[in-house]
Structure 1
Amino acid sequence: MTEHVTASLADKGVIQSYQNGFATAYRLTDMFLISLVYLIVLLVMQLPVNSFNAALLLVGLIIYMICAEALDIYRSWRTYATSLMLKAVCWAWLLTSLLTICSLFLFAPAQSVSKQAVLFWLFAGLPVLTSWRMVFRLVLSRYRRHGHNSRSAIVLGANQLSYNLVKQLGQHDELGIRFEGFFDDREKQRLPYELRELICGTIDEGIALAKSRKVDYVYIAMPMSAEQRIMDLLGRCSDTTANVYIIPNFFIYNLLNARWQNVGSIQTLSIFDTPFEGANNALKRIEDILLSSLILTLIAVPMLVIALAVKLTSPGPAIFKQVRYGLGGKPILVYKFRSMSCQDNGNKVKQASRNDSRITPLGAFLRRTSLDELPQFINVLQGRMSIVGPRPHAVAHNEEYRKLIEGYMLRHKVRPGITGWAQINGFRGETETINKMIKRVEYDLDYIHRWSVGFDLRIIFMTLFKGFTGSNVY
């Protein structure tokens, strides 16, 4: 009897059987560490552990617990990225800090509060709460890689999408999800070749396996057109205790920052969206304002020298203003130091090419070194551009390529940039073939998919080494 129970725990994963207790342990650990940090601050600052400080700690703990529960911090994060978990913790502690400070101002006598101690406590709390989670998650990942605390999973429906899911499970063994097999009703010759040997039975057999409590996760992989079939499978799976997931084949589209949104009580999935909504938009704008202000301060004198040199070496204005598409495909004026003897800004704009007769001698140097683009930092301050983003093209080029390249206009879901992911990967300057423009667009859309402040800083850093020159820059 004991051996049977032990084997069952090993198969199902020890922690799964005590999921509620595990979440309680997380709560208790948070409360202990928050209290410990507060106590250390009081001891270091030689402040008394009196009733007021105890009450303040209790208020902070209650507020944090409410915020943490509201953000669902204590659910299972097995299949979620660590960054998402840490982001939720950061938001919970930020809200806790704001509400605690507000409570102090509203209800606490001024003379009884050590503002410095409270600030030290609130600043120290966040790294402690995030650090212990990161360490524990690392330990848990290694534990799962050795086959412990694992879950079993089956897939109903064999297709390329479900095959990709299974490959991801194999590549991320730290998730501790064991793939048990595909279940499909079709004959083997009708299945993708690479899946034929992975079929373990029919869909009825897969559901029977779930009903016998031998499976923890059931993934349903059916085409969007098979709505009735999916509803039938969901009905049958409701007679099991397994966690059931649908693998939607929305991925036949090039999803751009897809997210679920509510319209009243109706849920919709955005297929093409921008990452810069709400807080992200404010964060991106703050990043642009701070960095462009700093850079403009440093390059003010060189810009003045370049402007004088352009004016003295060839007739025409020092600054060339060209209409290009900005955020949302709306026309904007983009500034550059004039590098040509003429200013193309109409329905037909010829790209600069090798030995282009329109380029002035000084202009050739400015273009090779990208110094002609320095005035665009003014565009960034104006809010027309961003430091990092897809490079803006002339309106004539946009109208040409949007007809030739699928998804081309999705580049305009974000502000155009002075530098970008495509530029540091070698796709800058002349695009004399359609394939080069396709690759540039692919990198631009990949940037929008992956955007983060850290990614922006990485691109800016790499621009210092790769972004100023190139074999296609004329």
Structure 2
Amino acid sequence: MRCLGCFDDIELDANTTNFQYLGRIDESLDFAVENKIAEIYCTLSPEKSPYLYELAETAEKQFIRFRFVPNIYEFLNRKAHLDFVDEIPVFSLRSEPMNYATAQIKKRIFDIVISTLVILFILSWLLPLLAIIIKLDSQGPVFFRQQRGGKNNKGFSCIKLRTLSHVISSDATVQVKQGDSRLTKVGSFLRKTNLDELPQFFNVLMGNMSVVGARPHMLQHDVRFAGLENRYIIRMLSKPGVTGWAQINGLRGEIKETFQLTKRIEHDIWYIENWDTWLDLKIIWLTIQKMVIGDKNAY
């Protein structure tokens, strides 16, 4: 698309517009006909200037499409997403492709298929083996359950393999640090390889989680992080994931500084606004790669 210029009843100079000023509004149609213009875009309100409707009808008789551009900045001073409810235009603060019923069905089927395959062909033999190794390495249960924040901030019981020498309670707020003395030898290996996350595929099958999404945090951390970052709660618009866009971009592990939280939230929100099945497949593939080659932030 190439814009030849603009028309306004007030003469505009170069400091006012990026386009060449071509004349008054009533001269626009003659210019469009003479220069074989395909489309005219009008940013003025037809309700305040009713003659614009007549101008639009005259333009269409000349096979020139006349389009009105609403000024949403009168009530919304940021980037917005346009959608329609029946024939009513509706603006929202962001695009949410997962919010549509068809997308939710597609993602749920994807989650069921992937989690079922993982459980049947990997966990069916790997979990018993890891359970024996964990039991031989340290005392305590094989599995670790903890309340985490889910979609719409609803808590759920997240299942993981135990990696600490002592089972911490569900209200603990101490994140695992690099070189943490609570880590068992087997637990350190499990965390570095992400194998401790595998039981979460049962959470996926039950519908508490998705294969891909923002990683769930402890409930106390959700409260604290929401107080540090206003956008934090946005990441809970979708189900938490076993892996996510932030994690494959190196944003995992302990959050020591506010900027680390900010970057993680930015990536989580980007995923929500840009989701599709191919993106999920890409994230899964990159997660497998990181499991093989290792991640410096995995501890």
> What TM-score, normalized to structure 1?
0.54
Shift in alpha-carbon separation, 1:189–1:400, aligned structure 2, 3 A: farther
**Gapped regions of structure 2 (runs ≥ 5):** none
Counterpart in 2 of 1:9?
none
Residue 415 of structure 1: how far off its partner (Å): 1.1
Taking the aligned partners of 2:213 and 2:162, their CA distance within structure 1 comes to 22
In the alignment, the residues of structure 2 paired with residue 206 and residue 442 of structure 1 have an alpha-carbon distance, to the nearest angstrom, of 44
Hey, what does 2:108 align to over in structure 1?
A: 285
Task: Write the deviation string for residues 379-406 of structure 1: whole angstroms up to 9, x where unpaired.
Answer: 0110111111111111122212222223
Shifted more, 199-208 versus 411-420: the winner is: 199-208
Match of 1:425 among 212, 234, 249: 249
| Contact 1:334/1:376, CA 8 A, preserved across alignment | yes
**Deviation readout 1:280-336 (Å, 9 max, x if unpaired):** 211111111111111112222111122222233223221111111112221111111
- Between the aligned partners of 2:197 and 2:280, the Cα distance in structure 1 is 18
SS in 1 for 2:4: strand
1:200 is aligned to 2:17: no
CA RMSD after TM alignment: 3.0
Distance of 1:424 and 1:234 partners within structure 2: 52
Is 1:343 equivalent to 2:147 in the alignment? Answer: no
Counterpart Cα distance in 1 of 2:275 and 2:246: 13
Q: Is the 8 A contact 2:226 2:232 kept in 1?
A: yes
* Contact 2:13-2:21 within 8 A present in 1 as well: no
Counterpart amino acid of residue 295 in structure 2:
G
- What is the CA–CA distance in structure 2 between the aligned matches of 1:304 and 1:247, rounded to whole Å? 61
Counterpart mapping for 1:37-436 below 5 A: 177-183=1-7, 185=10, 187-188=12-13, 191=16, 196=18, 198-202=19-23, 204=25, 206=28, 209-210=31-32, 214-221=36-43, 236-241=55-60, 242-246=65-69, 249=72, 252-253=77-78, 255=80, 259-262=83-86, 267-271=89-93, 273=96, 275-299=98-122, 300-340=124-164, 341-346=166-171, 349-436=173-260
1:362/1:183 Cα in 2 relative to 1: closer, same or farther (>3 Å)? farther
Contact 1:211–1:239 (8 Å) recurs in 2: no
The match for 1:449 among 260, 269, 273 is: 273
Query: 1:337, 1:372 within 8 Å by CA — same for their partners in 2?
Result: yes
**1:325 & 1:230 partners in 2: Cα distance?**
51
- 1:215–1:293: structure 2 CA closer, same or farther, 3 Å change rule? same
Structure of higher RCO (CA pairs closer than 8 Å, 6+ residues apart)? 2
Equivalenced residues, count: 287
How far is 1:218 from its partner?
Answer: 2.5
Cα gap change, 1:248 to 1:392, in 2 (>3 Å): farther
Classify the secondary structure of the residue corresponding to 1:447: helix
Deviations 1:215-248 (A, max 9, x none): 22223457xxx79668775664444222314165
Equivalent-residue separation in structure 2 for 1:335 and 1:186 (angstroms): 67
Change beyond 3 A, Cα 1:266–1:189: closer
Note if contact 1:182-1:200 (Cα within 8 Å) is conserved in structure 2: yes
Q: Secondary structure at the match of 2:223?
A: helix
In structure 2, the CA distance between the partners of 1:288 and 1:189, relative to structure 1 (3 Å rule), is same
State the alpha-carbon separation in 2 of the partners of residues 384 and 438 from structure 1: 25
Q: Distance in 1 between matches of 2:42 and 2:113?
A: 47
Structure 1 unaligned spans of 5+: 1-176
Structure 1 residue matching 2:5: 3-state secondary structure: strand
CA 1:470 to 1:229, structure 2 compared with 1: closer, same or farther past 3 Å?
A: farther
CA offset digits 1:433-461 (Å, max 9, x no partner): 22222222222222122211122112111
SS at match of 2:272: helix
Distance 1:418 1:377 in 2: 7
Q: Specify the alignment match of 2:295 in structure 1.
A: 470
Distance change in 2, residues 1:363/1:393 (3 Å)? same
d(CA) in 2 for partners of 1:218 and 1:465? 51
Give % identity: 32
Tell me if the contact between 1:427 and 1:439 (Cα under 8 Å) persists in the aligned partners: yes
CA contact (8 A) 1:261 1:270 kept: no
Are the aligned partners of 2:211 and 2:243 in contact in 1 as well (CA < 8 Å)?
A: yes
CA distance, structure 1, for counterparts of residue 46 and residue 68 of structure 2: 14
Q: Distance in 2 between matches of 1:389 and 1:180?
A: 45
Q: 1:213 to 1:422 in 2, by over 3 A?
A: same
Does the CA contact (< 8 Å) of 2:150 and 2:239 recur in 1?
yes
Contact 1:423 1:467 in 2 (8 A): no
Deviation, 1:368, is: 0.9
Larger helix proportion, structure 1 or 2? 1
